[in-house]
């Protein structure tokens, strides 16, 4: 078995562009300005203007000109890589590291491994998390699957008093997670563990025919009535798994997800601003939903994450507080 790091697009810029084109244009190049798929020209040997750092300019890989609207573009257009001065093969390295590390990879580690500045590493991590963010997917538990639902508190919100207590406190971040057994995870950063916050999210993301499983908390009692079935485990009485009609009633799956998430947030990311929390949740959801047990290896997971780079440019602009 050869190392995946030998793939040419991890080190060679021209190969990285070829790979990007396969991802962005699976059916051949499309002009991002006018939608033309017909006549276009590959512009070879074009270089950027000379600069102090690059007196001879840099080769503009993958540059094309549309035969209809005459505009120039590369496959980076409308992706999270657009306008980034970071070479594409380095972006691919970062994507692989982030996708292959179960508990994530810190900006500091990316900075040391890739040799980019810490600020650049931080920016790359967040753009890649954006690519991992799923949008507009079908509800979980369709066809009568089992969906485990739980919420957790962790960290401290900004400005919380030093002595803010542990447990279900208004000073801590709250996440709600839905996990389809044998399937995907979806997590949400919510203001508080209340029916008002949780109900609309669960309604929008879980199919009516799903069998849901939660702990005994009363709020789930009301929410649970809308689904095909609702079973609870009584953690207060130390009950974690119960068998009913041959199927295990438990929330151990979603708790296992939280255990990886919390170890990653504590051990790898350490400090996370509240406004970025949804991106870290998306990252852990993504790796969980594309895990080895579902037949997805590190390499395939990276390919799938890169599949999410297209059309995320608006989010890229909205969320880039720092300029690069
Ligand atoms: Zn065009």
Residues 225-253 have a mean pLDDT of: 90
Please tell me the distance between residue 136's alpha carbon and the centre of ligand 1 in angstroms: 29
Beta carbons within 8 Å of 41's beta carbon, 6+ residues apart: 64, 65, 67
Torsion sign across C-alpha atoms 60, 63, 69, 70: positive
pLDDT of 1 over the 80 cut: no
- Ranking 99-113, 199-213, 239-253 by mean pLDDT, the lowest is 239-253
Q: List residues, by chain if needed, whose CB lies under 5 Å from ion ligand 1.
A: 31, 33-34, 36, 66, 68-69
pLDDT at 272: 74
Position with higher pLDDT, 232 vs 316: 232
Please tell me the distance between residue 94's alpha carbon and the centre of ligand 1 in angstroms: 31
* pTM for the predicted model, two decimal places: 0.86
pLDDT at 136: 61
pLDDT at 8: 93
Cα 40 to Cα 137: distance, rounded to the nearest angstrom: 34
Burial class (CB in 10 A: 0-12, 13-18, 19+), 129: buried
Q: Beta partners for 174?
A: 153, 190
161-195 as b/e: b if 16+ CB within 10 A: eeeeeeeeeebbbbbbbbbbbebbbbbbbbeebee
Domain ranges, ordered by start, for the chain: 146-289
**pLDDT tens string 125-160:** 999 998 898 766 789 999 999 999 999 988 877 776
Q: Please, what CATH class does the domain formed by 146-289 belong to? A: alpha beta
Please tell me the distance between residue 313's alpha carbon and the centre of ligand 1 in angstroms: 19
């Amino acid at each position: 078995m050869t190392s995946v790091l030998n793939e040419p697009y991890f080190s060679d810029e021209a190969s990285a562009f070829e790979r990007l084109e396969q991802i962005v244009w699976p059916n051949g190049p499309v002009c991002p300005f006018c939608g033309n798929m017909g006549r276009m020209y590959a512009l070879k040997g074009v270089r950027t203007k000379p600069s102090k750092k690059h007196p001879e300019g840099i080769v503009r890989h993958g540059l094309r000109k549309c035969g209809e609207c005459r505009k120039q573009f590369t496959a980076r257009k409308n992706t999270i890589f657009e306008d980034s001065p970071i070479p594409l093969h380095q972006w691919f390295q970062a994507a692989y590291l982030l996708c292959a590390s179960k508990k994530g990879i810190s900006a500091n580690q990316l900075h040391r491994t890739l040799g980019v500045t810490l600020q650049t590493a931080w920016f790359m991590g967040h753009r890649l998390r954006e690519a991992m963010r799923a949008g507009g997917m079908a509800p979980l538990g369709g066809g009568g699957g089992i969906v485990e639902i739980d919420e957790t508190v962790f960290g401290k919100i900004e400005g919380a008093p030093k002595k803010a207590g542990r447990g279900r406190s208004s000073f801590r971040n709250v996440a709600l997670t839905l996990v389809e057994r044998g399937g995907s995870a979806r997590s949400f950063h919510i203001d508080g563990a209340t029916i008002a916050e949780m109900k609309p999210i669960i309604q929008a993301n879980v199919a009516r025919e799903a069998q849901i499983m939660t702990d005994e908390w009363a709020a789930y009692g009301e929410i649970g009535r809308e689904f095909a079935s609702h079973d609870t485990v009584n953690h207060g009485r130390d009950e974690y798994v119960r068998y009913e009609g041959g199927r295990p009633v438990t929330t151990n799956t979603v708790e296992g997800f939280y255990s990886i998430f919390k170890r990653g947030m504590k051990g790898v990311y350490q400090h996370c601003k509240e406004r970025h929390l949804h991106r870290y949740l998306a990252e852990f959801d993504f790796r969980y939903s594309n895990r080895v047990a579902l037949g997805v290896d590190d390499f395939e997971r990276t390919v799938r994450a890169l599949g999410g780079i297209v059309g995320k440019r608006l989010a890229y602009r909205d969320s880039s507080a720092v300029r690069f």
